[in-house]
Structure 1
Amino acid sequence: MSVHIRNFAIIAHIDHGKSTLADRLLEHTGTVSNREMKEQLLDDLELERQRGITIKARAVVMQFERNGKKYELNLIDTPGHVDFQYEVSRSLACCEGVLLLVDAFQGVEAQTVANAYAAMEHDLKIIPVINKIDLMHARPDEVAEEMMNSLGTDPDECVRVSAKTGEGVDGLVDAIIEHIPPPTGDPKATLQAMVFDSNYDDYRGAITYVRIMQGTVKKGQKIAFLRSGTSHEVVELGRFAPQRQSTDVLAAGQVGYLICNIKSLGDVHIGDTISIPGDKAAEALPGYSRPKRMVYCGLFPSDGQDFSELRDALERLAVNDPSFEFEPETSDALGFGFRCGFLGLLHMEIVQQRLEKESDVDLVQTAPNVTYEIINKRGETITIHKPQDVPDPGDIEEFRQPIVRCNVIVPDDFIGAVMKLCQERRGIQQSQEYLAAGRAMLTYDIPLAEVVYDLHDKIKSATRGYGTLDYEMVGYEAADLCRLDIMVNGNRVDALSVVCNKADADRRGRAVAKTLKKEIERHMFEVAVQAAIGSRVIARETVPAMRKNVTAKCYGGDITRKRKLLQKQKEGKKRMKAIGNVEISQKAFMAVLSDGEQG
């Protein structure tokens, strides 16, 4: 009996029920028994279960029979947060169709629109699904109309389900079988497979997740990675059901994993093509576009001795998550560490927590900053990933900042509050349109530095949780920016430098100087804490010296005795200030970083 294959992904805005729907599909097709079932079964990272969000896309195969035919459904569950959009785009390259999931109460959200356009770009069949129809305040008819207005879907094609109760899941499985086209690959052709993810196992080496486009791969066969130019023998292959389940053959259209005892992490590249060794290899697949890192920060081991451990942990994590990058850097304040690039602030937080939990590394993180471009007096364009690299003001012809186009979907009661927020962050309005009665989409161009810190949280607060934000990079624009340096006792503290708008520099400089004054321990000499732009000091605070009362033993007698002792003390403090060093404690450092983010 031939097997009918369908490959599809579930895409949706965050919290619209992707992982719960995946649970119901696994139950309905008998892939997982009731005894093994638990909520969010495919979210197997500890961090995913703690936060209740999907971070990594997960593949699973579901096999069942219907009307005398054998079906194999390959499902990929994807994240919903804007920072993990790269995970979604990788998953879509392995599918022929998608389930576009929308909450029956909240309706079309910002990330719903972004994901739908991504699916259209990959030319995939979209099945619109309205979830949570069991809610008391569900409004499926209005949501179907919203989807038609904003995404152009047919309201009659919308499948209505409740991922919580399982209502409508049977009809959804029928829609998947009927509407999603089967894969087109030829099992007899030369092997051609796409690497869409990978993982590192301490005992088995790199585990490569593949979608077979053409041909067949068997256990014991020699395969070649075309990008890295290396050949390996397949020790084990199999599929996810939902745990690893070994098999002898994977044919065109199937999704599974390969283990080849690869210990060198540099041999596995996500987006690589696998074929046969030699001249008869299939041509390489287009792969994936490189992710654009938006936010950079320094990661340093809190104990300087753990540098090599941190490097090994970052290399292992990069195999599983290629969307962040890292390179070594040194800081006078923090020692040896790495400059890391991320897709957004949540991505940065997740990577930091995964390093601490999975590799047991204790980290110190510098203030996050975005990538800038500078055109110097010689007409050269320099990309700036950290504030320390900004040249002197006299050498800068033009300072450019990254601009993102933000789509904010809000109930119309909160339009004024959101407009005020965007304008405060130097946003320029591009458009305003109504998706349905009572819901509008505002489009603004805003500097990325103003978006990544807290715009998402502020929009949630201003709209009582109903507003949603999605953004995409537009390009770089000239702006009135400067590098703000913090100097302690006349020495620049490189890890506290930030790039900011000149209009905000005074306020931020004063805030950091005041925080440091409270946090730096008093010394035997006065310590000056200054904020400066180039050679111009714009704020100063002074940490007073600890004083000993040297005249305590002088009672009565000539005043010149007291003056002599005070003069001696003054000279001693002057000499101490000239040769003394001020150490900024880790606590003071973290206080400034958190204060800087709020500022």
Structure 2
Amino acid sequence: MSAKYGTNVGKLLQAVIEKIPCPKGNIEKPFRALIFDSKYDPYKGIVAFIRVVDGKIELGSKIYLIQSKSEGEVKELGYFKPEFQPVKELKSGEIGYLATGIKEPGKVRVGDTITIMSNVNVEPLLGYKVPKPVVFASVYPENPDDFENLKEALSKLKLNDSSFTFESEAKEALGRGFRCGFLGSLHTEIVSERLKNEFGLNLIISTPSVVFKIINQKNKENFVFSPSDWPNPAEIKEIEEPWAKLEIITPAQYLGRILEILNNLKGRPLETKYFGTDKILLIYEVPFKGIIFGFYDNLKGITQGFASMNYEILEYRKGDLVKLEILIAGKKEEAFSKIVYKDAVFKEGKKLAEKLKEILPPQLFSVPIQAVVSGKIVARETISAKRRDVIAPLYGGDYTRKRKLLEKQKKGKQELKEKGRVRIPSRVFLEIFKTS
């Protein structure tokens, strides 16, 4: 069979009809249908993709969504063939689409039960378990005026992606944006690309992070989704992070370099299997935060694209983690904070400070960049003041006058340094998040 060329697809569909039992349901019972997907139509409202379990529904019927307690009207019904084919009714055992006329995306949710207005007390269907996001990132519009456009775009994406979550947040340096939840790094990339390509939005997307479990001194558990929510170190009794089982299939010639990056991740080997003479399966346990950003690109790079990977989330385990903060001109910039291992604070702090020194524009005063952990400076860089030649117009002349101008400039720079605040362009955030 070939999906590309359609070979034997007809036989496969016929086998499905013959061998898979018919859906169970009762056409005599009140109408109930399960929403399993949806899309937005500017004219028909939200179009729900449904499986009709009981009863039947007709064009023009008044409908009720049990979970969201929303009302609507059937604007169109139909089957997938695979394009939409309108019909006058859908009945028990059938799968099709239903245009609800509802324009607010949050009112039509995957897993909700649709019934008719005359049967609002009918028992809802069990639906199915919606996957929970395990990776989180902040998404901000480059242009603050695009906030509402971004909100509308996220709402529309949520319609046919029930695992994707978002909620509003605000940061002083970036303005208003959203903290979004994803199933993994690939899911993050897909959503960000859709926002850019389908909605024409220019975005600032933070480095993806996992959810940490913090146990405080009173033995109460809290889940932390971003560094900005990290509690005071004095309040922390224990920190736990999610681990994952990682499986990598690779040609044997790249084994050494793959083992090197796995060891850098603090990975623990579980099993190694050989397939023939040139294929190896590596099974490791690794901290999940180590593989959600950049790991797959690194793996493809060192194996020239021949390796593949898969992972499965395990449980939370104790981790020796701290919050690394960045001070620019003495002011904490929360957007650059990150959670790192305690034995890597100097390396990570120096790396981040050097990168900021490289890309931040110079000011009229010197700008110190400090990496800080629990109030202790672990790395520092300084951006030299932008030079302005105040004595150039004097050419020759009295040296005393030149000295007065230089002293006045020095005093002015000192005042700027004491009062001034560094404005960070959006391109700096883009560059840092891209390379973190």
Work out which of the residue numbers 502, 514, 538 in structure 1 matches 2:342: 502
Say which SS state the counterpart of residue 484 (structure 1) adopts.
strand
Say which SS state the counterpart of residue 198 (structure 1) adopts.
strand
Q: Which residue of 2 aligns with 1:366?
A: 206
Work out which of the residue numbers 195, 199, 203 in structure 1 matches 2:39: 199
Residue 352 (str. 1) matches residue 192 (str. 2): yes
C-alpha distance in structure 2 between counterparts of 1:397 and 1:514, whole Å = 32
Work out which of the residue numbers 90, 96, 104 in structure 2 matches 1:250: 90
Q: Which residue of 2 aligns with 1:317?
A: 157
Residue 492 (str. 1) matches residue 299 (str. 2): no
Matches within 5 A, 1:32-431: 161-169=1-9, 171-278=11-118, 282-412=122-252, 414-431=254-271
Change (3 A) 1:548 1:467: closer
Residues 204, 429 of structure 2: 8 Å contact kept: no
Residue 540 (str. 1) matches residue 366 (str. 2): no
C-alpha distance in structure 1 between counterparts of 2:258 and 2:133, whole Å = 26
Q: Which residue of 1 aligns with 2:297?
A: 457
Displacement of 1:566 in angstroms is 4.3
Q: Larger deviation: 170-179 or 452-461?
A: 170-179
Q: Deviations over 1:422-462 (max 9, x none)?
A: 22211112333457786554322211110111222233334
Residues 66, 120 of structure 2: 8 Å contact kept: no
C-alpha distance in structure 2 between counterparts of 1:433 and 1:479, whole Å = 29
Displacement of 1:304 in angstroms is 1.4
C-alpha distance in structure 2 between counterparts of 1:459 and 1:349, whole Å = 17
Change (3 A) 1:340 1:582: same
Change (3 A) 1:519 1:417: closer
Q: Deviations over 1:23-44 (max 9, x none)?
A: xxxxxxxxxxxxxxxxxxxxxx
Say which SS state the counterpart of residue 522 (structure 1) adopts.
coil
C-alpha distance in structure 2 between counterparts of 1:316 and 1:165, whole Å = 33
Q: Which residue of 1 aligns with 2:310?
A: 470
Q: Deviations over 1:523-551 (max 9, x none)?
A: 22111111111211111111111334556
Say which SS state the counterpart of residue 232 (structure 1) adopts.
strand
C-alpha distance in structure 1 between counterparts of 2:403 and 2:255, whole Å = 69
Q: Counterpart of 1:377 in structure 2: which amino acid?
A: Q
Q: Counterpart of 1:536 in structure 2: which amino acid?
A: K
Q: Counterpart of 1:320 in structure 2: which amino acid?
A: N
Q: Deviations over 1:70-97 (max 9, x none)?
A: xxxxxxxxxxxxxxxxxxxxxxxxxxxx
Matches within 5 A, 1:444-593: 444-549=284-389, 553=394, 565-593=405-433
Percent of aligned pairs with the same residue?
Answer: 37
Q: Counterpart of 1:256 in structure 2: which amino acid?
A: G
Q: Larger deviation: 268-277 or 172-181?
A: 172-181
Q: Larger deviation: 173-182 or 314-323?
A: 173-182
RMSD: 2.6
Residues 391, 405 of structure 2: 8 Å contact kept: yes
Q: Deviations over 1:484-509 (max 9, x none)?
A: 11111001111111111122222222
Q: Deviations over 1:283-337 (max 9, x none)?
A: 3222222322122121112121222222222222222222211111111111111
Say which SS state the counterpart of residue 284 (structure 1) adopts.
coil
Gaps of 5+ in 2: none
C-alpha distance in structure 2 between counterparts of 1:365 and 1:340, whole Å = 10
Say which SS state the counterpart of residue 330 (structure 1) adopts.
strand
Residues 211, 224 of structure 2: 8 Å contact kept: yes
Residues 275, 281 of structure 1: 8 Å contact kept: no
Q: Counterpart of 2:79 in structure 1: which amino acid?
A: R
Change (3 A) 1:285 1:430: farther
Q: Counterpart of 2:210 in structure 1: which amino acid?
A: V
Task: Give the structure-1-normalised TM-score.
Answer: 0.67
Say which SS state the counterpart of residue 125 (structure 2) adopts.
coil
Displacement of 1:247 in angstroms is 0.5
Displacement of 1:556 in angstroms is 8.2
Q: How many residues align?
A: 435
Q: Deviations over 1:130-163 (max 9, x none)?
A: xxxxxxxxxxxxxxxxxxxxxxxxxxxxxxx233
Say which SS state the counterpart of residue 291 (structure 2) adopts.
helix
Q: Counterpart of 1:284 in structure 2: which amino acid?
A: P
Change (3 A) 1:163 1:368: closer
Task: Give the structure-2-normalised TM-score.
Answer: 0.91
